[in-house]
Chain A
Amino acid sequence: MKETTDFYASSSDDVAEGAVYTAMGGGDWADIAAEQAERGDETLVINMGPQHPSTHGVLRLMVECNGETVTSIRPGIGFLHTGIEKNMEYRSWTQGTTFVTRMDYVAPIFNEVAYCLAVERLLGIEDKIPQRANDIRVLMMELCRIASHLVAVGTGGMEIGALTVMTIGFREREMILDFFEAVTGLRMNHAYIRPGGVANDLPETGIAQLRDVINWLDKHLPEYAAFCNENPIFKGRMCGIGYQDLSACFALGVTGPVLRSAGYGWDLRKQQPYCGYETYDFDVITWDTCDAYGRFRVRLDEMWESLKIVKQCADRLEASTGEPVMIDDPKIAWPAQLALGPDGQGNSNEHIKHIMGESMEALIHHFKLVTEGFRVPAGQAYVPIEGPKGELACHVVSDGGTHPYRVHMRDPGFNHLQSVPIQCEGGMLADIVVAIGSLDPVMGGVDR
C-alpha cells in the first residue's frame, strides 16, 4: 500500500503546475508538442542512432520527416571519441602507430602510413626508406584498400537487403586479413608500419600466401559485378540516391570515391605520389552519375586496380627477398630484428642473445631507444595520402622531444558526414542508409 511516487516530479512544495518533462537543452515537451500542433503538418522528428545497425557504428542522425520525405537531417558524431590524439602526446613516436591504427579500424594500414610519412618528413628521412619497405607498404595499403572497399560494398549491400554481397564481401576480406595476420601478427590494429620502415619482413611463406590471396580475389571479385551491376533491385535502390555534384564535393571537402563518382579523377596516388606509387601501373576510376550507384561502381573497379598494384608488388617483393625493411640508421630503427613468435610479435632470439649475453652497449642502446625513443626535430608536417575513403592526412607537430607535440588526423569520413544533409534532404527516409553507406564513414576515424 505504498504511495506512488513520481520520481520525476519535484519533491518540494513549490511544484510548477503540471508535470515538467525536460528535453535535452532544457526544453519543455509541452511547448514542443504545442509547437508541433500549431504547425499542423505531418512532420515527424526521428532520432536515428547512435545504436542503429545501419548507421555504420555509432552515428546519430536527427531527422525531420514530412510523411516519408526527409525535410531536415543533422548528423551527430562524437560517440566513439576516444581521445587518441591527446593520448599520443604522452607516448613515444613509435608508440604513436599503435594509436593511429585504431582510428579508422577498417583501413588501419592507411592511418599508420600517413602518420609514419609525416614523422619521416620531420625526421628528414623520406629518401632513406628502403625500397623493400616502400614496396611492402604499398602492398599492405592496396590489400587494405580492397578489404575496406569490400566492407563498404558489403555492408552497403546488406543495408538494402542484398545480404549475399555482405557474406561474400566478408569472406574475401577474411582472406586478406589472414594474410595480414601472417605478416603482422594481427588481423587489425597492426602497428606494423613504423617510422623508418616496417616492423618486420614478410614471413618465409609470405609470397606464396600472397599469391593464394591474389588467385582467390581474381576468382571471386567478378561475383560482385555479376550480382549487383545490372541487378534491377540494386540499381533501383542506388541510382540517383545521395546525389552530390562536383561543386558540392569541393565545397564540403569531399574526396575519394565520392569525388570520383562525380567525374573528377583526383587521386593522390597519381597527383602527389608517395611510397613510390608513380612507379606502379594503374588507372584512376571515375564515374559520372554523382550518386550511390556510381560510388559502388568506382569502388568495385578500384578493387581491380588495387589488385593490379598488388600483383606488381608481389613480383617486386619476390625479387627483393632479403633486402632490409627498416632504415639503416640505428638512432631511429628499432634495435631488434622483430620476428613473429608463436604468440604474435616478438624480438628475435638472436637479438635477445646479443643484448643479454654479448654487448652491454647494445643493451643500453636497446633500452634507451625503446623506453625513451628517438627525438624528432621541431617543426610541423602535413602528409596526405589517398585512403580508401578519400584524403587521409596526418598533421604532426614536434617540439623536438621524444613525444609528438600534437597529432591531428584529417579523416575523410569526418568531412564526408558533413555532406549527409545535402545528399539526403528532399529524399526518402529509406534512402538515408543508402546515402550514408555510399559515403562509407567509419566512426572510429571520424571521432578519433
Chain B
Amino acid sequence: MSDSDALLPESGPAPAAQAAPVRQGMWSTGTGDTSGYGGVRRTVEWPAPATAPYGSWFDDALARLSGLVNDAFYKVVVDHGELTVYVARERIVEVMANLRDDAHLRFEFCASVSGVHYPDELGSELHVVYHLQSMTHNRRIRIETTCAETDPHVPSVVATYPAADWHERETWDMFGIIFDGHPHLTRILMPDDWAGHPQRKDYPLGGIPIEYKGAVVPPVDSRRSY
C-alpha cells in the first residue's frame, strides 16, 4: 500500500469532471440537422463541484466532518439534492469511521458499495461509490473515492461497516478493485476461475450476429451508438 500511494494523485484534480468530455454521434439534438450525417460533437458537462454554502443540512455536516478528519475530502458535489463527497482513498477508513461514530453525523447504515469505471479519467479510472444512510437524522450521503487502473487498491471499510463485505467482493469481482484489509476478497458473482472484470468499460459485452430472414442483426455492443 505504501509504494502504491505514490501513484495516487494528491487530492486528485477533480476526477469526475473529465470522464467523457466529448461525445460524437450521427444524430443531433437541438440543431436543425436531421440528415444523420452531421457528425455531431457534444461536450459532456458533469455536475460542477459545489462551493459553500451547499444548502440544506450539508453545510453543518461537512463542517463537522471537516473538523473531525481535517480536510480528508477534496471535492464536494451537490446535484439533484444529493450530496457527494470525494475522499482521498488513504483517508477512506478514517472518514467512514467518523461518519458512523460521530453523534452529529451518525451514518450508521451502509446501504451500498459499488464501482464505476471512467476509462478517460487518467490516473483515477476506477471509482468506488459508497451510499450511507443515517437513520438517526434521516439523511443520505454519497462518498466517492478513486484509484488508478494500474494500482487498483482501496482500503476496505468492512471493519466499520460489516454490510460492505459482499458489496466490496462484488466490486472486486466486477471492477477489479482490490480492497486492502478485506477479510475474504474473492469473486462473488462470477466463477472463481473467471478471467477479467466484466463491468469495466473495456470488457466486451459479447454476443454474436443473428441472421433473420436474410438480414443480419449485429450483436448489441457493435450496433450503432448515438
Chain A residues within 8 Å of B, Cβ to Cβ: 24-25, 77-78, 81, 83, 85-87, 89-91, 121-122, 124, 250-253, 264, 266, 271-272, 364, 368, 372-373, 375, 377-382, 384, 391, 393, 395, 397, 399-403, 405-406, 408, 410, 414-415, 417-418, 447-448
- Best-buried of A83, A253, A448 by chain B (most CB within 10 Å): A253
19 contacts between A and B (CB under 8 A): A78-B188, A81-B190, A86-B199, A90-B223, A251-B162, A272-B138, A364-B34, A378-B44, A378-B45, A378-B47, A379-B46, A379-B80, A381-B82, A382-B142, A401-B226, A410-B111, A414-B170, A417-B166, A447-B189
Known A90-B205, A253-B111, A379-B47; contact A78-B163, beta-carbon cutoff 8 A: no
Stretch at the interface among B5-13, B19-27, B53-61, B90-98: B19-27
Considering only residues 97-137 of chain B, those with a C-beta below 8 Å from chain A are 108-112, 114, 116-117, 129, 131, 133, 135
Query: A418 CA to B114 CA in the complex, in Å?
Result: 16
B33 within 8 A of A: no
- Chain A residues closer than 8 Å to B135, beta-carbon distance: 250, 264, 266, 271
Q: Are the CB atoms of B163 and A251 closer together than 8 Å?
A: yes
- Chain A residues closer than 8 Å to B190, beta-carbon distance: 78, 81
Considering only residues 173-200 of chain B, those with a C-beta below 8 Å from chain A are 174, 187-192, 198-199
- Please name the 6 residue pairs, one residue from A and one from B, whose CB atoms are nearest each other, closest first: A253-B163, A410-B112, A78-B189, A408-B114, A81-B189, A400-B44
B220 within 8 A of A: yes
Known A90-B205, A400-B44; contact A83-B23, beta-carbon cutoff 8 A: no
- Chain A residues closer than 8 Å to B163, beta-carbon distance: 251-253, 415, 418
- Chain B residues closer than 8 Å to A405, beta-carbon distance: 19-20, 116
Residue of A nearest to B114 (CB): A408
Query: A25 CA to B186 CA in the complex, in Å?
Result: 12
Q: Are the CB atoms of A250 and B80 closer together than 8 Å?
A: no
- Best-buried of A81, A252, A378, A418 by chain B (most CB within 10 Å): A378
Q: Are the CB atoms of B108 and A250 closer together than 8 Å?
A: yes
- Chain B residues closer than 8 Å to A272, beta-carbon distance: 138
Choice from A121, A395, A415 contacting B129 with Cβ under 8 Å:
A395
Known A122-B80, A400-B42, A401-B23; contact A91-B220, beta-carbon cutoff 8 A: yes
Least Cβ–Cβ distance between B192 and chain A, in angstroms = 8
Q: Are the CB atoms of B142 and A90 closer together than 8 Å?
A: no
Least Cβ–Cβ distance between A267 and chain B, in angstroms = 11
User: How many A-B contacts are there with CB distance less than 8 Å?
Assistant: 129
Known A77-B188, A399-B19, A399-B20; contact A372-B27, beta-carbon cutoff 8 A: yes
Residue of B nearest to A90 (CB): B220
Q: Are the CB atoms of B220 and A382 closer together than 8 Å?
A: no
Known A380-B84, A382-B140; contact A253-B109, beta-carbon cutoff 8 A: yes
Q: Are the CB atoms of A382 and B165 closer together than 8 Å?
A: no
Query: A89 CA to B220 CA in the complex, in Å?
Result: 10
Additional 10 contacts, C-beta under 8 A, given A382-B140, A382-B142, A391-B111: A85-B174, A85-B199, A251-B161, A252-B163, A271-B138, A375-B29, A380-B84, A393-B131, A395-B114, A402-B226
Q: Are the CB atoms of A400 and B138 closer together than 8 Å?
A: no
Chain B residues within 8 Å of A, Cβ to Cβ: 19-20, 23, 27, 29, 34, 42, 44-47, 79-80, 82, 84, 108-112, 114, 116-117, 129, 131, 133, 135, 138, 140, 142, 161-163, 165-167, 170, 174, 187-192, 198-199, 203, 205, 220-221, 223, 225-226
Query: A428 CA to B114 CA in the complex, in Å?
Result: 35
- Chain B residues closer than 8 Å to A266, beta-carbon distance: 135
- Chain B residues closer than 8 Å to A380, beta-carbon distance: 79, 82, 84, 116, 129, 142
Residue of A nearest to B162 (CB): A251
Query: A374 CA to B172 CA in the complex, in Å?
Result: 32
Query: A400 CA to B30 CA in the complex, in Å?
Result: 14
Q: Are the CB atoms of A384 and B111 closer together than 8 Å?
A: yes
Known A121-B80, A372-B226; contact A382-B199, beta-carbon cutoff 8 A: no
- Chain B residues closer than 8 Å to A77, beta-carbon distance: 188-189
- Chain B residues closer than 8 Å to A397, beta-carbon distance: 116
Residue of B nearest to A391 (CB): B111
- Chain B residues closer than 8 Å to A400, beta-carbon distance: 20, 23, 42, 44-45
- Chain B residues closer than 8 Å to A85, beta-carbon distance: 174, 199
- Best-buried of A78, A271, A410, A418 by chain B (most CB within 10 Å): A78
- Chain A residues closer than 8 Å to B225, beta-carbon distance: 403
- Best-buried of B34, B44, B112, B198 by chain A (most CB within 10 Å): B112
Query: A81 CA to B166 CA in the complex, in Å?
Result: 15
Q: Are the CB atoms of A373 and B226 closer together than 8 Å?
A: yes
Residue of A nearest to B44 (CB): A400
- Chain A residues closer than 8 Å to B199, beta-carbon distance: 85-86, 406
